[in-house]
Amino acid sequence: MARDNWSGRFGFVLAAAGSAIGLGNLWKFPYITWNNNGGAFVLVYLLCILVVGLPLMCSEILIGRRSQSSVASAFGRLGHPKWDFVGFIGVAAGFVILGFYAVIAGWSLASFAECLGWSVQGYEAPSDEAFGTFLADPLKQIGLGFVFMVATSLIVWRGVSGGIERAAKILMPTLMVILVYILIVTCTLSGAGEALTFLFKPDFSKLDSHGVLEALGHAFFTLSLGMGAMITYGSYMKKSERVVPISITVVILDTIIALVACMIMYSIIFTVDGLRDEVGKSTVGMLFVTLPKLFYTEMTGSGGAFVGPLFYILVAFAALSSTISLLEVIVSLFVDRYGWNRTKATVTAATSVFGLSVLSALSLGANGFLSSVKLFGSSETGVLHSLNKLVTKDKGGVLNILDHISANWLLPIGGLAITIYVGWVLPTKDSKEELFGEGEGSSLFYKVWLFFVRFVVPAAIGWVIVDVVLGGDFS
Ligand code: PFF
């Protein structure tokens, strides 16, 4: 059977941007930027995106396009089967990330329902414990994750052009329109000016070296790099498309959305007295606890009742276009490597991931054991304790562990392997031809790109990994 393809450049850009734009942009980035005091961190992040993200994005897409295979067997197809281990790291990362991402994505549905209720029946302030109670509710946590997994599976099951591309063509433009509308509304708030200053006026005395590494670590997650999602998506790209401009477009879109998300949230936060001290307390706080209230208490005159539910549709859409790519990485392992049909591959992948997400869902307070379990057991001394400290920073709880392992280990290691492969193993003739077409293209750009892929990107990722081994944490 002929391999499915994106119908064209537009389809690929939307699907790849859909993978990149997700909870990383709307939930993680505003939070870490806040904790790293804005300005200088944003500048460093932009540099990481340019220096590490873009070269790696081109590398992944070119591997996929050249091999015409998903990450699971791309390296073997290019004549280096020993490198197929990278594909397995990628699939493992997809499994681990989806195992917790689907649960968090499910919260957007709950926030949507809550906001809709407030819009219709009037706002009723939730108690301080409301979010904790929600997290510890097993049925809600499993049920919402389930809904998300079913939606994801149905789209992936329908294939690349008929499912993923079609969904992206609806989800992404809707997301952009909603985002622009909310941006315009929030820019009229009195705190908008301060938000701009916070975001774009760098003060390097407020940034430490850990912040730099955090920016670098986040660059992988937000661009869906290091696990072969872009290899897999690139493998469905037609030979006539040009890799470099497309990569640049995806990277720019992802970055703009992350900055717009910050603008929206910070404008609201700076408008409300006393709020700025409250928001940094928890990773989930800003997106799922602070914002819903604000739409109804601070934006009453500026369309909060309309913007509230709309905002969570946006979050759900962004998350869905990312979960699709995560599942596709796993499904394509079965299809490309083992020749399964799409139905069997999708059902197998989705049910096994759902099994893991049930464990994540119950690890937020519903089940005592799963909420506190450690990867290498609970021993407080000896080798296992040291392993817990090294591998997971002694974190407890399934969801926390999955988040930690993917952000700190799987994505950086996968990214390192990919950049070494493209820089040092794949013949330069192949990479040049794939990036610019035969005999075409600027050889200066190619040389600069190769320099980054060979030296700068591996050095930067190596730094992240050394920092993780020494006790850093990017999750
Ligand atoms: N890039 C997504 C986000 O920012 O939310 C997360 C993600 C999706 C990571 C797909 C990796 C991936 F393969």
411-420 vs 84-121: helix crossing angle, rounded to 10: 140
Q: What parts of the chain have a pLDDT lower than 70?
A: 1-2, 274, 277-285, 438-442, 472, 474-475
CB-facing half-sphere around the CA of 440: CA atoms within 13 A: 9
Please state, in angstroms and rounded to a whole number, the distance separating the CA atoms of residues 230 and 243: 11
Distance 466 CA to ligand 1 centre (A): 23
Distance 126 CA to ligand 1 centre (A): 31
| Residue identifier of the C-alpha nearest atom 7 of ligand 1 | 224
What residue ranges do the domains of the chain occupy? 9-469
Please state, in angstroms and rounded to a whole number, the distance separating the CA atoms of residues 147 and 153: 10
Please state, in angstroms and rounded to a whole number, the distance separating the CA atoms of residues 74 and 87: 8
Main-chain phi, psi angles of 313, to 5 degrees = -65, -40
Distance 199 CA to ligand 1 centre (A): 23
Helix, coil or strand: residue 263? helix
Distance 227 CA to ligand 1 centre (A): 9
Report pLDDT for 324. 97
Report pLDDT for 284. 60
pTM for this one? 0.94
Distance 325 CA to ligand 1 centre (A): 8
| Residue identifier of the C-alpha nearest atom 10 of ligand 1 | 224
Mutate to test the pocket of ligand 1, among 19, 32, 255 (most ligand atoms within 8 A of CB): 19
Mutate to test the pocket of ligand 1, among 70, 95, 221 (most ligand atoms within 8 A of CB): 221
Distance 124 CA to ligand 1 centre (A): 34
Report pLDDT for 272. 77
State the fold for domain 9-469.
Answer: Amino acid/polyamine transporter I (1.20.1740)
Under DSSP, the state recorded for 28 is I
Main-chain phi, psi angles of 36, to 5 degrees = -100, 20
Within 8 A by CB and 6+ apart from 315, the residues are 23, 26, 27, 108, 111, 287
- Ligand 1 atom with the shortest distance to the CA of 230: 13
> Model confidence over 153-200: pLDDT tens digits?
999 999 999 999 999 999 999 989 989 988 998 898 889 999 999 999
Distance 148 CA to ligand 1 centre (A): 15
Distance 324 CA to ligand 1 centre (A): 10
**Long-range Cβ pairs for the range 114-119 (8 Å, 24+):** 114/292, 115/292, 115/295, 115/296, 115/308, 115/309, 115/311, 115/312, 116/309, 118/292, 118/296, 118/305, 118/308, 119/305, 119/306, 119/308, 119/309
Number of Cβ atoms within 10 Å of the Cβ of 177? 12
Q: For ligand 1, which residues put their CB under 6 angstroms from it?
A: 19-20, 22-25, 97, 221-222, 224, 227, 229, 322, 325-326
Please state, in angstroms and rounded to a whole number, the distance separating the CA atoms of residues 322 and 160: 14
Report pLDDT for 206. 87
Distance 212 CA to ligand 1 centre (A): 20
Mutate to test the pocket of ligand 1, among 101, 156, 327 (most ligand atoms within 8 A of CB): 101
Report pLDDT for 15. 95
- Ligand 1 atom with the shortest distance to the CA of 29: 4
User: 360 with 402: CB under 8 angstroms?
Assistant: yes
> Model confidence over 296-350: pLDDT tens digits?
887 777 788 888 999 899 899 999 999 999 999 999 999 999 999 999 999 999 9
User: 67 with 75: CB under 8 angstroms?
Assistant: yes
